[in-house]
Chains A and B, each alone.
Chain A
């Protein structure tokens, strides 16, 4: 039996997750260079999917749907990851105006998502008119918060090494609204990401959002999910694995308490 035939014979084992060790590595190597076998593997998975469809059972409980929607609502990383458009300038109030305008655009973009494969399905879900109305309301609320006299300002500064990274957090405790703007941030390796934290007066750090700077070193996080009423002692930035962390795993590289 040729090596190719042997590989084909083992594809069901591979698709079932049974192949381990050297056998698996050998098959992986073969798949890298053999389109026919890759196509056959995909078909075997399709056959296995049919087996899955043979199952029938009770519907999932209603609470599962709510649990999923609650979890999605608490996901801050989409806004943090995708919003990276802060211009590099020091006129922060001008930047705030631009950020407020950008927020409205970001929310609409958020409804469509960038993924091409699921674009049609996701877009049809998220382009519901009620959802869009909600996003416009949020954008208006954000604009009101940014221009409020209650808004506290935080400036995060790193060590004195040019170009100097800077982060600006504008936070309204009453409704948990935050706009974060960063500039001159150093690029990170692929497997790392910046994570912004709200350090409350009491309790554990709250993850606010993940960001990677754009080519000019700038990034923004606009209105992530923060519980209302949390008094911030400081905001801080750490470098985390690319999927982010629920609690800081490294020392902060930047931090700031509210300005008087």
Chain B
């Protein structure tokens, strides 16, 4: 567990801090995510993707639950995340991060903003539409297109 912590605590903490904006709360999420993994390691299915991707999704979901003062949404066993394991291998890690950041910075600003508001702020499509003044359908399209752009960064 110590090695897993050394390897992945940075991304878990960074995601939690990005969502919650509070170091204490981010530390709590970091603790909770790794303890869940320790107590229930079978929840992560190695055959369906990389561990960092799974941890990132679990962390974001838990942080959003806290932000919105919700109970945890689902059993972590139910959260299967497919990622090409080769993309996030140790050797490819740095290159993958560059690709993701390039892909995001290449998106239209409104598309990126909608994606980030939904993902990191936990805002619903309706809340984003109300905040930006754009139609609901437009927000949905921006989020879908944004995700599609990210996927294409690895599957051109």
Question: Are A and B subunits of one complex?
Answer: yes
Contact call B82/A16, Cβ cutoff below 8 A:
no
* B64, CB-defined interface residue at 8 Å: yes
A34-70 interface code vs B (CB 8 A; 1 in, 0 out): 0000110111111111111111111111011101110
- Whether a CB of chain A sits under 8 angstroms from the CB of B135 is no
Note all chain B residues with C-beta closer than 8 A to A56.
14
Which secondary structure dominates chain A's binding surface? helix
Residue of B nearest to A121 (CB): B4
The interface size bin for chain A is 35 or more
Complex interface bits, B49-62 against A, C-beta within 8 A gives 1, otherwise 0: 10111101101110
Nearest residue, chain B, Cβ from A53: B100
With A13-B125, A17-B61 given, is the CB distance from A50 to B100 under 8 Å? yes
- List A contacts of B1 (CB < 8 A): 68-69, 72, 122, 125-126
Is B76 interfacial (CB-CB < 8 Å)?
no
Asked if residues A51 and B150 are in contact (CB atoms below 8 Å), the reply is: yes
A252 to B125, CA, bound (A): 50
A60–B13 contact, CB under 8 A?
yes
Residue pair B31, A67 in contact (C-beta under 8 Å): yes
Query: Nearest chain-B residue to A116 (Cβ)?
Result: B42
Q: Taking the nearest CB of chain A, how far is it from the CB of B21, in angstroms?
A: 11
Minimal beta-carbon separation of B152 from chain A (angstroms):
10
A48–B34 touching, CB < 8 Å: no
B129 at the interface (CB under 8 A from A): no
Q: Is the CB of B53 within 8 A of A57?
A: no
Taking a contact as CB atoms closer than 8 A, the residue among A68, A117, A120 that contacts B34 in the complex is A68
A126 contacts across to B, CB distance below 8 A: 1
CB of A71 within 8 A of chain B?
A: yes
Question: Is the beta-carbon distance between B3 and A53 smaller than 8 angstroms?
Answer: no
Cross-chain contact B4 with A49 (CB below 8 angstroms): no
Measured CA separation A247–B141 after assembly (Å): 49
Give A residues with C-beta under 8 Å from B.
9, 12-13, 16-18, 38-39, 41-61, 63-65, 67-69, 71-72, 75, 77, 113, 115-118, 120-122, 124-126
Q: Which B residues have a C-beta under 8 Å from some C-beta of A?
A: 1-5, 9-15, 17-18, 23, 26-27, 30-31, 34-35, 37-39, 41-42, 44-49, 51-54, 56-57, 59-61, 64-65, 73, 79-83, 96-97, 100-101, 103-104, 115-116, 118-120, 122, 124-125, 140, 143-144, 147-148, 150-151, 153-154
Other 11 A-B pairs with CB < 8 A, given A50-B83, A122-B1: A12-B144, A42-B81, A46-B49, A47-B151, A48-B119, A49-B53, A50-B53, A58-B14, A60-B10, A117-B45, A125-B3
